[in-house]
Amino acid sequence: MLRLNPYRIGWRTIKTAVGMALGVIIAKLMGLDNYASSAILVVLCIKDTKMNSVKAIWSRLVSCMIAMGFGATIFPLLGQHAWVLGLIVLFFIPLTVMFNTQEGVVTSIVILLHFFNATTIDINLVLNEMMLLLIGLSIAFIMNTFMPSFEKELTSYQNDIEAQIRHIFYAYSTMCSKDTPTCDLSFDQLLLTIRKAKSVAFRDVKNHFVRNENSFYHYFDMRQDQVDILQRIHFNLNHMTVDDVLLPKVAQLFKEMADNVNENNYTAMRLHMLYDIRLQIDDLPLPDSHDALHTRASIIQILYDTEAYLNIKSNFGSLKLYHEVN
């Protein structure tokens, strides 16, 4: 059954429409032949990121120059015949692959067909095609300098991820206080949110010509590392079978971590609480049963994993916005 997607006009669609119209208008006002072809250049060079746009423009510039070279030399020598056109394409496409500009093949073929259909192949035709290239590629470049900011979307992902991690720590605190002995937590949604957030952050990296990294991307990467540790903590919590004198203190530690998930400089105080719990272990008598020993061992492992979780955030530092990065 045919399924229709929601109708909407995106930012890229607007840029393409405006750019095509400008390309045709400018080329026509300059009296260029085949002026509509400038619109083809524009639509093929409008990309989702600035870096992809620059790559597309460069590929089309190089491949079109090669095509003009073939058209200006081969057609006058062998004639404007279909077999000559096929012969040129036979050698032209492998050449673009060699220069890694095969993305511009379609545009180049359009230029090549202009030479194929031209009444006279001379310097005026070459200049006409070069002007079409200049107009189309310049407009595409200008259009692609206008890119939407992803900062609001990335901040929304950040808040969502922190809310899910906060919920996990509250659940851990409840498990340690024995109000709920076990808790069936799922990390799938959290991991999916992090993957989506990293995808958006990576797109934002490609929207800048100078900056080659993104503070948000490293932040989401840090959170992904922490989720791996949270899963290990959850495993050990579910395998504690008896009560332990340390559990209330661990429950308080997890509650403190839940309350301070989104703070940039909370790790030092939480690490102090954690080390204090570990020091108390040395003063406690040894467990007197197998289950009690197993629970104590699980608590010790949980404390080590929690320390690793906190150290990851401590090493990350704080999330800097773009205008704060020198």
| Rounded Cα distance, 30 and 261, in Å | 61
Average pLDDT over residues 202-214: 60
Average pLDDT over residues 260-264: 74
Average pLDDT over residues 135-139: 87
- Single-letter amino acid, residue 92: F
**Residues 322, 324, 326, CA angle at the centre, nearest 5°?**
95
Query: pTM (2 decimals)?
Result: 0.66
Residues 6+ apart with CB under 8 A from 52: 206
Please state the separation of Cα 55 from the chain's center in Å.
Answer: 17
pLDDT-derived band at 168 (thresholds 50, 70, 90) equals very high
The reported pLDDT for the residue numbered 208 is: 56
| Rounded Cα distance, 259 and 245, in Å | 23
pLDDT reading at 224 higher than 90: yes
Pair 247, 298: CB distance under 8 Å: no
Q: Domain locations in the chain?
A: 11-144, 151-324
Which residue in this structure is represented by tokens 């400089």?
265
CATH for 151-324 is 1.20.120.940
**Tokens at 297, concatenated:** 């061992």
pLDDT-derived band at 288 (thresholds 50, 70, 90) equals confident
The predicted-structure confidence for 62-96, as pLDDT tens digits, reads as follows 888 998 999 999 999 999 899 999 999 999 889 88
**Percent of residues, the chain, with pLDDT higher than 70:** 87
pLDDT-derived band at 210 (thresholds 50, 70, 90) equals very low
The reported pLDDT for the residue numbered 325 is: 43
pLDDT-derived band at 323 (thresholds 50, 70, 90) equals very low
pLDDT reading at 184 higher than 80: no
| Rounded Cα distance, 162 and 170, in Å | 12
Task: Give me the DSSP letters along 46-68.
Answer: --SSHHHHHHHHHHHHHHHHHHH
The reported pLDDT for the residue numbered 242 is: 80
Average pLDDT over residues 111-125: 89
The reported pLDDT for the residue numbered 46 is: 74
- Length of the chain in terms of residues written: 326
Closest CA to 298 of 238, 216, 223: 238
Pair 59, 92: CB distance under 8 Å: no
The reported pLDDT for the residue numbered 194 is: 94
The reported pLDDT for the residue numbered 285 is: 87
- Chain mean pLDDT for the chain: 83
